[in-house]
Chains A and B, each alone.
Chain A
Amino acid sequence: MLSITGLGVTYGGLHALTGVTLEVGAGEFVTLVGPNGAGKTTLLKAISGTVAASEGRVAYQGRDVARLRASERAALGIAHVPEGRRVFPTLTVRENLELGSYRRAARRRRTESLATVLELFPILRERERQLAGSLSGGEQQMLALGRGLMAQPELLLLDEPSQGLGPRIVEQIFETIDRIRRERRLTILLVEQRVVEALELCDRGYVLETGRVVLDGGREGSTFTSSASRIREASRCGRACWRASHRPCRDCSARSSGGWPIASGAR
């Protein structure tokens, strides 16, 4: 479905991604984790086309998408639910959702998709006529996710859907993602700071650190549990000891339970 090889991205000479190789098979749920500034958002943007790759190749459904603009990639069925929700604040909830199915292939099934999304997020039905900018953070995240689903995507890119939300909403969001995925056999690439929750849901994972893949859950472990536990093991303190080959550092061995220090921390 998605195949990235040797991808590099620079921001005015600064390397944000170097030699990233990553694979997401059809129907797979892959998680990408890593600390702040690792380049996770940059990677998703390079896939959906809002930042240009300086080297390497991004292939979607076997086709090199380098020459396609973001809107053309979206038309092919890549739905990007961006970091920070990015709903259209001066449009109503309903209009936001309808724009989700702007691409031609989804427009025909708009009524049907709308019914499904409103069933997944009943709160959005209540808020249908309200301006999206006036929604709460959690509601906006549901709207952003709903808007992404309206595209009837083949590949769903989710950038930190839990960011800034309370535990109840986070749980609801993750449950919905899990449900959609099982019902629709969607292919998902999820970026998350909440490693524990994300790994419970996904099939495989990658760890990104300062622009490089430092742990590839796909190749190292063939089964879900082994790669998940390896990443979890590797990510206790969010430092270099994530690397699969490293021994846990003092902080990591001192903490009995795993988890992701950044997830519960500052943000």
Chain B
Amino acid sequence: MVVAELAQYVATGLLVGGVYALMSIGLALIFGVMRVVNFAQGDFMMLGMYLTYFYALAGVDPLLGALLTIPPFFVLGWIVHRGLLARVTGGGDPQRQMDAQLILTLGLSLVITNATTMILTPTPRGIRTAYATQAFTVGPILLNEARSYAFAMALVLAAALWLFLTRTDAGRALRAAADDPEAASYQGIDVRAMHGLAFGAGIALVAAAGGLLATYYPIEPSVAVNFIVLMFVAVVLGGLGSIPGAFVGGLVIGLVQSLTLLALPFQLQNTGVFIVFLLVLYLRPQGLFGRRARTV
């Protein structure tokens, strides 16, 4: 009986963790390639939730809607990079660039949250689907259908990213630009275009994760704050900039959140996450998948 209960918590945690994983790899991709900490990541997620909501109003199933957020958000990310971020990345005094990036992405976050609140009002909205209230039964365990589908889609998208990064020329060029931008440019790789690609893809992934989340989570302009910290923790847990690391980090957070509920009330769900976070930082400061500081 206890075992069954534990298995239920693990399963629930992993299902939620899959969506966290998808959010976090977007952030890790951006940090890994551009060395930019994108504080507006959660806000793009929120926008992805809204877009999926509007798709749903137009009769598009939110699982498909989540996928359909990818093209417009990729373009949006590309434009934000070209118009804003490209001015404060690549070349120049690194310290001043870091400051400028910080202010830029924080500012972007504020603008997006407030503009959304103004235009769409703070009223929470939800997407109603038939499957949100149903569950698959696997032995003694119940798996919520909406979360199961979201989990499966998150895995598929993460796998697609992985195939892109390892099997295509553009993906390898992206990793090369992350490793050594100067050497990459000597191979004919346009590093600025790679940054645009990374930012576009990073935003598209988090928007899709938002769309998946929207199948079971209320949508409101301030929803970002509940998730941005989790994404950061996942990315740091996994080793800064490591994509498999961020993926595992996301799963771990879902799992820990869920298991915390065995001991603590719902409001303290994130306590366990921070305890694990501090433990990992203490025992393995480079993160689960991070390499030790590179020796030159």
Bitwise interface map of A from 89 to 110 toward B, beta carbon under 8 Å scored 1, else 0: 1110001001110110001000
B178: which A residues are within 8 A, CB to CB? 90
**CB < 8 Å neighbour of A82 from B173, B175, B186, B190:** B186
Give every chain A residue within 8 A of B187 (Cβ-Cβ): 74, 99-100, 102-103, 147, 151
| B189 with A90: CB separation less than 8 A | no
Q: In the complex, which residues of chain A have a beta carbon less than 8 angstroms from the beta carbon of B180? A: 86, 88-89
Residues A68-123 near B (CB distance < 8 A): 69-72, 74-75, 79-82, 86-91, 95, 98-100, 102-103, 107
In the complex, A87→B186 CA distance in Å? 11
Please, which residues of chain A bring their CB within 8 A of the CB of B189? 71, 74, 99, 102
**CB-based contact B188/A91 at 8 Å:** no
- Which B residues are in CB contact (< 8 Å) with A91? 172, 175-176, 179
| Contact across chains for A71 and B175 when beta carbons are under 8 A apart | no
B6 in contact (CB, < 8 A): no
Find chain B residues with CB under 8 A from A90 CB: 175, 178-179
A222 is an interface residue with CB less than 8 A from chain B = no
* Contact residue among A70, A95, A107, A133 (Cβ-Cβ distance under 8 Å from B186): A70
Complex CA gap A102/B171 in Å reads: 12
B182 within 8 Å of A (CB atoms): yes
- The residue in chain A whose Cβ has the minimal distance to the Cβ of B294 is A89
**A-facing residues in B162-186 (Cβ within 8 Å):** 169, 172-173, 175-176, 178-180, 182-186
Contact B169 A102 (CB under 8 A): yes
Are A86 and B183 touching (Cβ within 8 A)? yes
Which chain B residues lie closer than 8 Å to A80 at the CB level? 186
Closest to A70 in B: B185
B191 within 8 A of partner (CB):
yes
Q: Which of B173, B175, B182, B294 is within 8 Å of A102, CB to CB?
A: B173
What is the CB-to-nearest-CB distance from A51 to chain B, in angstroms, rounded to a whole number?
10
B173 touches A99 (CB 8 A): yes
Cβ distance A27 to chain B, nearest Cβ, rounded Å: 22
> Using Cβ atoms and an 8 Å threshold, which residues of chain A touch B172?
91, 95, 98-99
Candidates B169, B179, B188, B294; contact of A71 at CB < 8 Å: B188
B185 and A74 contacting across the interface, CB-CB below 8 Å? yes
- Beta-carbon contacts of B173-213 to A below 8 Å, as 1s and 0s? 10110111011111111110000000000000000000000
In the bound assembly, the distance between CA atoms of A219 and B186 in angstroms comes to: 30
CA distance A160 to B187 in the complex (A): 18
Q: Which of A131-145 contact B (CB under 8 A)?
A: 133
Q: Please tell me if the beta carbons of B188 and A82 are within 8 angstroms of each other in the complex.
A: no
Chain A residues near B184 (CB-CB < 8 A): 88, 99
- Give B291 Cβ to nearest chain A Cβ, in Å: 8
Q: How far is the CB of A147 from chain B (nearest CB, A)?
A: 7
Complexed CA–CA distance, A90 and B183 (Å): 13
In the complex, A87→B185 CA distance in Å? Answer: 12
> Are A107 and B185 in contact, CB atoms less than 8 angstroms apart?
no
Assembly CA distance A75 to B182 (angstroms): 15
**A48 contacts the other chain (CB 8 A):** yes
Closest-CB distance, B223 to chain A (whole angstroms): 34
User: What's the minimum C-beta distance from A24 to chain B, rounded to whole angstroms?
Assistant: 18
A161 contacts B by Cβ under 8 Å: no
Which single member of A69, A79, A86 contacts B182 (CB below 8 Å)? A86
One of A71, A89, A100 near B185 (C-beta < 8 A): A71
Q: Does A50 contact B (CB under 8 A)?
A: yes
Which interface residue of B175, B176, B183, B294 has the most chain A CB atoms within 10 A?
A: B183
Q: Which residue of A lies closest to B242 (CB)?
A: A90
| Least distance between B197 CB and chain A CB atoms (Å) | 14
**Are B183 and A107 closer than 8 Å at their CB atoms?**
no
Partner of A49, one of B175, B185, B294: B185
Nearest-Cβ distance from residue A70 to partner chain B, whole angstroms = 4
Known: A89-B294, A90-B175, A91-B175. A102 touches B183 (CB 8 A): no
With both chains docked as a complex, state the minimum distance between the C-beta of A98 and any C-beta of chain B, in angstroms. 7
Interface positions, chain B 52-99, Cβ under 8 Å from A, are: none
Instruction: Kindly state the separation between the CA atoms of A215 and B176 in the bound complex, as whole angstroms.
Output: 38
Given contacts A70-B186, A88-B183, contact A99 B294 (CB under 8 A): no
With both chains docked as a complex, state the minimum distance between the C-beta of A109 and any C-beta of chain B, in angstroms.
Answer: 14
> Which of B169, B176, B188, B294 is within 8 Å of A74, CB to CB?
B188
Residue from B172, B183, B186 with most neighbouring chain A CB atoms (10 Å): B186
Which has the most chain B C-beta neighbours within 10 Å: A49, A71, A80, A87? A71
Closest partner residue, chain A, to B182 (CB atom)? A50
9 A-B pairs within 8 Å (CB atoms) are namely A71-B191, A74-B187, A82-B182, A88-B179, A89-B180, A91-B176, A95-B172, A98-B169, A102-B189
What are the 3 closest A-B residue pairs judged by CB atoms, nearest first?
A74-B188, A103-B188, A70-B185
B interface with A by C-beta (< 8 Å): 169, 172-173, 175-176, 178-180, 182-191, 294
**Seed contacts A82-B186, A87-B183; 10 additional CB < 8 Å A-B pairs:** A69-B190, A71-B185, A71-B191, A79-B186, A88-B179, A91-B179, A95-B176, A98-B169, A102-B173, A102-B189
